[in-house]
Chain A
């Protein structure tokens, strides 16, 4: 390892970011594009009888009005897209399935005109009974979709095609040992009904897509984390070869899972292609709330010990509310269902995890990919079990946590997942062994911990191309999208480390599918490991190439590369001279390419188990010290410690920022963040109503803790960290509340109202006991 990996180098273009000089998608001049506004459904579930666009078309400045039916006539069922299920039309054509679903698009000279004309459209509906929540969906006889339509992306979903009369689009089952019998035979069981509400990502940058047709090609500039996916999706939609679709991006102003798969892109492509006009779609904040959400999830679960305190049974029934369209919900259901036991040794486990349609805005990926919702359940349960047994919650977890080489309940062996190290780190930061001072009165203090586990997205593909320029600078072509996580910074560090070059001389090209090679997605904390490995390999290939060139020139194979150039004994040549000698030209380039692909063993359909369900694991722990005001129910966080095992920190400063940033987002989920949907209507979808953490919600002290348990095939041992810090925040805080006031709350968020209500219930039941 050289001097760049492991260094806390400043973030790429930091001064530019501070002064606002970074160009984002909506900042790009686009020429004469039509501005697009959408007419949206006012009802949650209905047949569309008629869409009347006459008044909209007559509005001065309107170029065109396009309805779902217009697109269906041209594109047929190809207009149904989605990463797991091809169930979502970019404009509704036969039915609407949630309040706010787009039905018609107005293209106009300016956005104000487009919006005015969109308001002038009226729709005649035949209303249908609606499915408002999980119990309607699972127990009722109204179905959001006539039949299931798995997409072609995931081969293992094909068997679901055509299934009717259900709102469950996917079910994952984990069966190991006999969990029911073990629970019966056990000495102590705790159980609970847990609820984590739907929430929203709210990256401050709003989604924006510009699409146009150029020389028979569909070209697009868009706010996406998934340019390679979008290229395929648009090519399928328009029946074009991939070479005739170009997707370009800019750095994103945050995303957290909201700007991936099919958002504005299919509609923009369809409108540009069918009208021949350049179109610009810019979501307002209110519209952005409808594009995707985080799944609300209900978990009914139990955890059992035998008399010696061994964990003998874990049972959970997990239901994800995926809204009107499946998006990647089926994947979330499986990937979080498989770890719903938590990072513990439990011989008998039974998990049922279902993805359920309702007539609400669609839910999709969100930092953590469904795992925080099940972590909420398993970390509340094990904590309650420890406390009821009179065991220390840290020691009790420690006893049962998976260690290196252990086989987890879903069948995969643990490696580079130091749960114990993370837990010990947060316990030490909180000074766990020293009792907290509680002086009585209305303020009660408490401490809690929680541990999280998540699998990295597997299988995936990363590619990298490196051009070494004759002047000893380099251009790195990858399709990873920098959205604040710092990929442009660390990928340059990795390449620079191999090539003994200043990272500032390596430019990372913004994803452009005409230029940068295929990369599955920038998501699931996968880029550091996957793309990082491809970048390391492409740089090593370049190093080998340079050494071979020098060996030719020196007449010896004993060549080394360092910051000054290439050496063999007394002989020396600088990089610029070496490349110039090879080509006889200034400005020439040398090119290398590399691929890094991971494989998995699909889980067994009956048991849900697999020997290799993922390439690697993320391990994290959170410790919280809080004070509850028992009069107002307000929770004040005195200290939040957040630990993540990152294998090896390529850039420790950026790793710490990912940990603390995720923890702050998690504070919102723990204490106040939630989407409120009433009778299918989103009631708090503006930033006046939707509460997010601000500088005033920071803990008095926030401690990031970087744990490094190197991964045997990670680049320099590294793994990602984008999600690790968020997994266990809410249960750590709730466990601290339990410690402070003796009340176990199972529904998020822990609002002052929820805490006061729980205290009143505790007091009234104590009175009844007397």
Chain B
């Protein structure tokens, strides 16, 4: 058992993830943070990408991309669906 605020998995943050996170509004940052916490606690899992990127998964509306290894969550990046497209 881990203390309440301690993660099950160690979280690795990439430069890309950090940069994308900073560009988000506070509200979205909060939601992404909650999602990362759930991931780090091992409560949720995403859908794998394809080809040789199957080791990466996407989760949530904000399309958080992450990798999973034993005891480690690697936060690759956030791919918001670009509203500019629409």
A, B in one complex: no
